[in-house]
Amino acid sequence: MSESTISAKGQTTVPAEIRRAIGGVPGTRLVWRVLAVGRLSVRAKNKSAVDVKGIVKVPKGLRLEAEEMRP
């Protein structure tokens, strides 16, 4: 388990082992979410839609153009 401290300015440092695990580099955006009293979820927002394009293989004949997906 890793921990850090919140400074008087509301800043904290992400521990090195966490930065390595998420591939965090200067400029990596973090998304924070309050789950319950005293619990948080933090995730690295280091992928854009362009980065993940093509990850899922679409079966032949099931591909739709963007215009076809609009209601």
Q: Measure the CA–CA gap between 44 and 23, rounded to whole angstroms.
A: 9
Q: pLDDT value at position 49?
A: 65
pLDDT given for residue 51 in this prediction: 67
Q: Per-domain residue ranges for the chain?
A: 16-69
How much is the pLDDT for 32?
Answer: 92
Task: Provide the residue-wise pLDDT of the chain in tens; the chain has 71 residues.
Answer: 889 999 999 999 999 999 988 888 888 889 999 998 889 998 888 766 666 677 777 777 777 777 887 77
**What local confidence, expressed as pLDDT, does residue 47 receive?**
65
Nearest to 43 by CA among 34, 31, 51: 31
